[in-house]
Structure 1
Amino acid sequence: MSWSLSGKVVWITGASSGIGRSLAVEAARRGAWLILSGRNVPALEETAALCERARLASENQQNAQKDEQEASPGARNHAACTLLPFDLADPEARLEAAQKALTIHGRIDVLMLNAGVSQRAKFVETSADVFNLIMETNFFAAVDIVRAVLPQMCSHSSGVIACVSSVAGLMGAPWRTAYSASKHAQAGFFSSLRTELYGSGIQISIVYPGFVRTAISENALAGDGTRHGKLDPLQKFGQNPEVTARTIWDKLETGKLDIKVAFELKARLGVFLSRYFPALFVRSISRHGGL
């Protein structure tokens, strides 16, 4: 099932930086109507400005006017980018945000669940509050938002739900017990949901980024909840997030369900060893501290 972002209403969580920001800019370039969410309002405003520039750069004035005229009635009279800031870890806030998102254009065509928080601490050094916060943010928030948005998609027999997971959702790694658990939980939930929705016209895709040049490791939580503040070497030299975003949208538009992106040799080898040679994988990954 192939489709195009042009004219689609796309809600992106975690749009203030990293992969989420690049996904938003690329979607704007392809003609989508965007709802951008995150906690950092100034950063979301920066993303919106980048999206607007990308849209203008990709269309001349005549084509832009034509696209506006051909856009669906629900989207025609709204701004190309709408900001919807909220705290993903707050159950009431995320449900309220989901209801607001559904009213902005009257529908959501593509739900991109990108927001999340990582971890850099051993399990024995991670407080229960921090562990639960990571699970709440990465997993339960995604489930709640899908629960709120899915009925509308089912009523139209169309829609795309994409979850940005991680290579940590395909294998374990030290100092990421909560993060990896949340990403494995995402894989289980969305792959199961996909089987339930077979034939419904709704696409459920899981994205597994390998090593992308973002600040996720710097923003990761230590065991006491403080910011890790260090950039992992493999991320420092990782793929440009703009390239990652283009690849993700390209594959989503072709209907691909499981998407591995920025999977260089170490990521591919790690997943292979974890699956087929777990003892060798454990010895290897424990030496250099993970991903």
Structure 2
Amino acid sequence: MFAITIRELSKYESETKKTKVNDATKLNLVKDLNFKTDNDALPFYKLPVKTLLHIYKTTKKDEENGYCKNRLYYIADRIKCPPSVLSQCIARRTFIYNLPFNWLESSLNVLLDMGVAGDRILRDLWVLKYHHKTIYERLQKVKNTGIDTLNPWMVRCSEDILNRSIQIFQETKSILGDNKSTKMYLANRLNISPEIIEDMYRKVPALKTTRAVKVKNFLDFLLEQGFSLEDITSKARILTASQNTVKQRLEKLRDLGLHTINLNVLCRSRKDFKKYCESIETITKEQS
């Protein structure tokens, strides 16, 4: 038998009525936001009434001023994105409806004029919160260094991170030269075909995302240490390891009296490498 008090029942009925009222209010507000399809509107039903009310007021003001029927469609048209896709993003980034329309328009103008791809803007709508002058200054600074592919994060990141990214780009560019890609650089350095590099990428996925600067420095180091191009090609995983760790391990093994060293040994886990060294030490003691 259920023991529900009159007070609890009254509270439940009150909450139920409130939910129904909220649902009805949401329905009416969303209907008045000029959505063209149900799919476009769907994500907005998840928003609280207070947020929807603000979006409604902004939308009506935009209409009165002749800006647009709904900012969803305005942005979707500018960045060439299906409204149903953008709707899911904007429902999580409702600050779009807090910005003055002129601010939003100016920020979009600069981003698109500077060549930032629409899909990149879609993935980082936060960039629209930045003043158009800030966006221009940041992206122009990057563009002046020779970087053609511009991203919204370049506007939002700290000055230190931006400068570091520019430095990495310039170092990479000086290393790659006419090769244009790390893959072609590796192919030329190792004297093998790009197809073999692709096979290496499949076997060692981390190699594909290894920066050109690291690849160049590591290759130089390994060749200086006496390893051949064939050794490196057959054991490409070495290029994804820490150069400092490899250097320390080489010194350790040479201190143990080893002259011929397999690159695979240098890639072992810390535990396995320690065991390997201990086995060498044991053999050395037995022979002495």
Structure 1 or 2: more helix by fraction: 2
TM-score (norm 2): 0.20
Structure 1 or 2: more strand by fraction: 1
Higher relative contact order (CA closer than 8 Å, sequence separation 6+): 1
Higher alpha-carbon Rg: 2
TM-score (norm 1): 0.20
